[in-house]
Amino acid sequence: MLRFALAGNPNSGKTTLFNCLTGSTAHVGNWPGVTVDKREGLYKKCKEPISIVDLPGIYSLSPYSPEEVISRNYILDEKPDCVINIVDVTNLERNLYLTTQVMEIDVPVVIALNMSDVLKKNGDKIDEKELEKRLGVPVVVISALKNEGLDELMERAYEASKKKRIGKTVLEESELAHVIGDVKIALEGQGVENPLFHAIKLIENDEIERTMHAETVKMVEAFKKTFKNDLFGVDFEALIADARYKYICKHYSSTLTKKIKGITDTRSDKIDRVLTNKWAGIPLFLVILFTIFHLTFSEDFLWSSYWGLPSLEALGVMVEGAEGELEPVNFGIALFSCLYDGVIYSPGVVLFNLMDLLTSTVFGWLTEGIASLGASEWAISLIGDGVLGGLAGVLSFVPQIIMLLLLLSILEDTGYMARVAFILDRIFRKFGVSGRAFIPMIMGFGCSIPAMVNTRTLLDERERTLTIRTIPFFSCGAKLPILVAVAGAVGNMLGLGDGAWISYAMYVVGMALAVISIIVMRSTTQRGEVAPFIMELPAYRLPSGKALMIHLWDKTKHYIEKVFTIILASTIIVWFASSYGWDWRPAEIQESILASLGQFLQPLFTPLGFGSQLNEFGWVFVVAAITGLIAKEEVIATFGTLSALFTTVVAPELAVEGATDVMLMTIGTGITWQALVAFIIFNMTTIPCFAAVAAARGEINKGKFKWTILFWVVASYIATSFVYTVLSWWWTAFIWAAVIALVTLGIVIWNKKFAK
């Protein structure tokens, strides 16, 4: 089958093009470094099916970043039938820098001039015919976003793939032309493929080439001794880069005619003056994050409880139900109560309520249906308590999680995320972390796994390690149910109404722990230099609705799949282990397998607030935290299953009206609100889910992986016991302060010694 590779600068639209061509749903983001691995898909509209490979974005084919190496090796070793070099035409010169290098390889090349819609809007013009003549390879104007010119692009690429092409260089006009020719002939003599490309890289002092062609290095060195350049001396890399840019400006730039404008700022510049302002930048970022969380899970996001609005009860639309609790008079009112009950709910909470109404109605019918069919008692318990009790808890949160992901994707797509990296770089550089590391961290609010993969753009191996370790502290979407449900119970205990403020505080604690861990690791086990941070800021863009929808649909599918596979399976196991004893017979919940396992581990959690100090039912928190290692949603699913069993079997009088699963657990175990807060912190900071652990293992050096697991265990243990003890007994803060001071002193002294 034919294989075409997409190569181009970061943010030039490769993934957008890839998605259009293959109908796939890869993630598109308006900041460099979204695609860090290659990806394959099928294009079917040509005479033969064509496999399309989306390569990571790169500025050159030097071996300085992992992406550059991946893309370079792919083109050289895998020999695609054609390279489609996608060029952001609004940044023509810089993008053509890569083109000049790709053209040196003996492979068919077609240039796709992307973002032509932006060009048109700016009133600029590109003469693609002329550019094609000067470059000597086909040039096609496209807009990946608007789906324009793609058929022609593939047609031309298909034609090109049928012909052989010999590499060509723009350096033939430079003073190095001679030596390039000599080295090329020498390499050809050795039977090296792509001799022109390798010859030039060798002269550039490219490390990979120097080890690969040790023989020829001598020849290059001999030449270099005789060479003298006024401007760059013997820095051949700079010399060659300069020659490329000069050639581009002289021969290619004139094909682009820009509409003459005054020296006014672009709109992006104006927005940036505010958003990346030295003083306002960080507060604005925090406000934006707050707004995102507020829209997602605040019950009262317009502060409408201060408006004195009447509750549904006061409106007289509630009636007394069979068990004495208040119910809406009809389904219409039930629907309305998802939006409003004395307060106006935030969009996220409305979504939650609607989904909750849906699941509880459908699951109610299911349970009744099974009972009326005369199913046996254990089947009713398995399906009613085990499966439905657990799944309902998780399913209700899916729309809310998706909403959070939507808001985060909008941040990425507008180009704001790149600014955040830029703002944070100014501060965190001092602590040894570049702003680039914050992009994966903030991605972690969605899901840790793509965030960990994204760290491949970090050059310093140690910076990468510590970034991967701190990513789970940025509470992911799957942890949102824990946050909302447990914080809701805490808010209820403290009479705060809803738990939104506690949830915000939890996010802040997570971020603070990340910063502290970074500082500690950078000054102990993961010392290192901060790599320079070079990332251009992409222009602000309105997010594309289509890309967002594709992305969200993908995530929704993923969550639903997860609920009906992993979560369902582990929920059944939890139900079984809590309904049966070690003799495999039905047992009271307190004599069950799960209870004995939980009780065995319980003492370990005493310093964290949810261990032995709780009553005989207190093991449920330990069990829930441990099932969270499978998937973080499982924590809430476990509460659902256990509280269903608990209220049907152990303490039916606890089935109070309107009490959530977590509230039932709270009443049943006698846990304090401080320990509940500690429980959230523990789940947020401890070992992430299996899938994320596997991702970390793939991304981190082998030797460092087991330390990473230990790091998560220790960090969460310390952070959780800190939160629990200080909230419970304020004076313990002094003990902690003393310990922290001692440890800091220890590190400082150790480092002084170490430095000598």
**Of 61 and 671, which has the nearer Cβ to Mg ion?**
61
* Choice from 9, 12, 15, 276 touching Mg ion (CB under 5 A): 15
DSSP 35-82: --S-EEEEE-SSSS-EEEEEPPP-S-SSSSSHHHHHHHHIIIII--SE
Stretch that binds Mg ion, among 8-16, 91-99, 214-222, 685-693 (CB under 5 A): 8-16
Contact between 544 and ligand GDP per CB under 6 A = yes
* Contact string 35-74 vs Mg ion (x = CB under 5 A): x---------------------------------------
Q: Say if residue 653 is exposed, middle or buried (CB neighbours under 10 Å; 0-12, 13-18, 19+).
A: exposed
Q: Say if residue 665 is exposed, middle or buried (CB neighbours under 10 Å; 0-12, 13-18, 19+).
A: buried
| Spatial distance between the Cα atoms of 211 and 183, rounded to a whole number of angstroms | 15
Contact between 56 and ligand GDP per CB under 6 A = no
Tokens of 337: 């109560």
Pick out residues in 384-423 that bind ligand GDP (CB under 6 A).
413
Tokens of 286: 């925090």
Contact between 10 and ligand GDP per CB under 6 A = yes
State in angstroms the smallest separation of the CB of 246 from ligand GDP.
26
**Of 145 and 343, which has the nearer Cβ to ligand GDP?**
145
State in angstroms the smallest separation of the CB of 347 from ligand GDP.
24
**Of 121 and 273, which has the nearer Cβ to ligand GDP?**
121
Stretch that binds Mg ion, among 10-18, 355-363, 481-489, 515-523 (CB under 5 A): 10-18
| Spatial distance between the Cα atoms of 747 and 752, rounded to a whole number of angstroms | 9
Judged by beta carbon distances under 5 to 8 A according to partner kind, the member of Mg ion, ligand GDP, none in contact with residue 685 is none
Size of the site for ligand GDP (CB under 6 A): 25
DSSP E strand boundaries for 91-132? 109-114, 125-126
Determine the residue type at 654: L
Stretch that binds Mg ion, among 29-37, 71-79, 363-371, 427-435 (CB under 5 A): 29-37
Spatial neighbors of 124 by CB under 8 A, at least 6 apart, are 90, 256, 257, 258, 259
Residue 406 CA, chain-centre distance (Å), reads: 12
Count CB atoms within 10 A of the CB of residue 719.
24
State in angstroms the smallest separation of the CB of 14 from ligand GDP.
4
State in angstroms the smallest separation of the CB of 400 from Mg ion.
28
Contact between 11 and ligand GDP per CB under 6 A = yes
**Of 36 and 684, which has the nearer Cβ to ligand GDP?**
36
| Spatial distance between the Cα atoms of 67 and 35, rounded to a whole number of angstroms | 9
**Of 65 and 470, which has the nearer Cβ to Mg ion?**
65
* Contact string 602-641 vs ligand GDP (x = CB under 6 A): ----------------------------------------
Pick out residues in 666-725 that bind ligand GDP (CB under 6 A).
none
Contact between 117 and ligand GDP per CB under 6 A = yes
Judged by beta carbon distances under 5 to 8 A according to partner kind, the member of Mg ion, ligand GDP, none in contact with residue 12 is ligand GDP
Question: What residues are paired with 39 via a beta bridge?
Answer: 54
Instruction: Report the 3 state secondary structure along 288-352.
Output: HHHHHHHHHHCCCCCCHHHHCCCCCCCCCCEEECCCCCEEECCHHHHHHCCCECCCECCHHHHHH
Judged by beta carbon distances under 5 to 8 A according to partner kind, the member of Mg ion, ligand GDP, none in contact with residue 84 is none
**Of 35 and 62, which has the nearer Cβ to Mg ion?**
35
| Spatial distance between the Cα atoms of 655 and 604, rounded to a whole number of angstroms | 30
DSSP 385-397: IIIIHHHHHHHTT
| Spatial distance between the Cα atoms of 294 and 316, rounded to a whole number of angstroms | 30
**Of 65 and 685, which has the nearer Cβ to Mg ion?**
65
> How wide is the angle at C-alpha 200 spanned by C-alphas 197 and 206, nearest 5°?
100
Judged by beta carbon distances under 5 to 8 A according to partner kind, the member of ligand GDP, Mg ion, none in contact with residue 458 is none
* Choice from 62, 114, 571, 683 touching ligand GDP (CB under 6 A): 114
- The closest alpha carbon to 574, from 382, 375, 360, 394, belongs to 382
How many Cα atoms sit within 13 Å of 311 on the Cβ side?
A: 6
| Spatial distance between the Cα atoms of 168 and 262, rounded to a whole number of angstroms | 39
**Of 305 and 544, which has the nearer Cβ to ligand GDP?**
544
Judged by beta carbon distances under 5 to 8 A according to partner kind, the member of Mg ion, ligand GDP, none in contact with residue 16 is ligand GDP
Q: Say if residue 317 is exposed, middle or buried (CB neighbours under 10 Å; 0-12, 13-18, 19+).
A: middle
* Contact string 574-593 vs ligand GDP (x = CB under 6 A): --------------------
Q: Could you tell me the sign of the dihedral formed by the alpha carbons of 609, 612, 615, 621, in that order?
A: positive
State in angstroms the smallest separation of the CB of 499 from Mg ion.
37
**Of 18 and 352, which has the nearer Cβ to ligand GDP?**
18
**Of 121 and 246, which has the nearer Cβ to ligand GDP?**
121
Judged by beta carbon distances under 5 to 8 A according to partner kind, the member of Mg ion, ligand GDP, none in contact with residue 721 is none
Tokens of 713: 């265990």
CA distances from 182 to 100, 223, 608 (A): 20, 10, 71
Contact between 526 and Mg ion per CB under 5 A = no
* Choice from 115, 484, 539, 692 touching ligand GDP (CB under 6 A): 115
Contact between 30 and Mg ion per CB under 5 A = no
| Spatial distance between the Cα atoms of 649 and 389, rounded to a whole number of angstroms | 14
Instruction: Report the 3 state secondary structure along 265-277.
Output: CCHHHHHHHHHCC
Tokens of 726: 């200080």
**Of 69 and 371, which has the nearer Cβ to ligand GDP?**
69
Judged by beta carbon distances under 5 to 8 A according to partner kind, the member of Mg ion, ligand GDP, none in contact with residue 443 is none
- The closest alpha carbon to 86, from 186, 4, 175, belongs to 4
State in angstroms the smallest separation of the CB of 118 from ligand GDP.
5
Residue 348 CA, chain-centre distance (Å), reads: 20
Contact 565, 423 (CB under 8 A): no
**Of 32 and 640, which has the nearer Cβ to Mg ion?**
32
Judged by beta carbon distances under 5 to 8 A according to partner kind, the member of ligand GDP, Mg ion, none in contact with residue 699 is none
* Contact string 124-163 vs ligand GDP (x = CB under 6 A): -------------------xxx------------------
Pick out residues in 15-44 that bind ligand GDP (CB under 6 A).
15-16, 28-30, 34-35
| Spatial distance between the Cα atoms of 598 and 577, rounded to a whole number of angstroms | 11
Q: In what order do the strands lie in the sheet with 50-54?
A: 39-43, 50-54, 2-8, 82-88, 109-114, 139-141
State in angstroms the smallest separation of the CB of 126 from ligand GDP.
13
Question: 713-716 long-range contacts, Cβ below 8 Å, gap at least 24?
Answer: 713/686, 713/687, 715/513, 715/517, 715/685, 716/681, 716/682, 716/685, 716/686, 716/687
State in angstroms the smallest separation of the CB of 30 from ligand GDP.
4
State in angstroms the smallest separation of the CB of 11 from Mg ion.
8
State in angstroms the smallest separation of the CB of 26 from ligand GDP.
8
* Choice from 284, 547, 678, 692 touching ligand GDP (CB under 6 A): 547
* Choice from 6, 20, 21, 34 touching Mg ion (CB under 5 A): 34
**Of 34 and 676, which has the nearer Cβ to Mg ion?**
34
- Residues of this chain that interact with ligand GDP (CB under 6 A) are 8, 10-16, 28-30, 34-35, 57, 114-115, 117-118, 143-145, 413, 541, 544, 547
- Residues of this chain that interact with Mg ion (CB under 5 A) are 15, 34-35
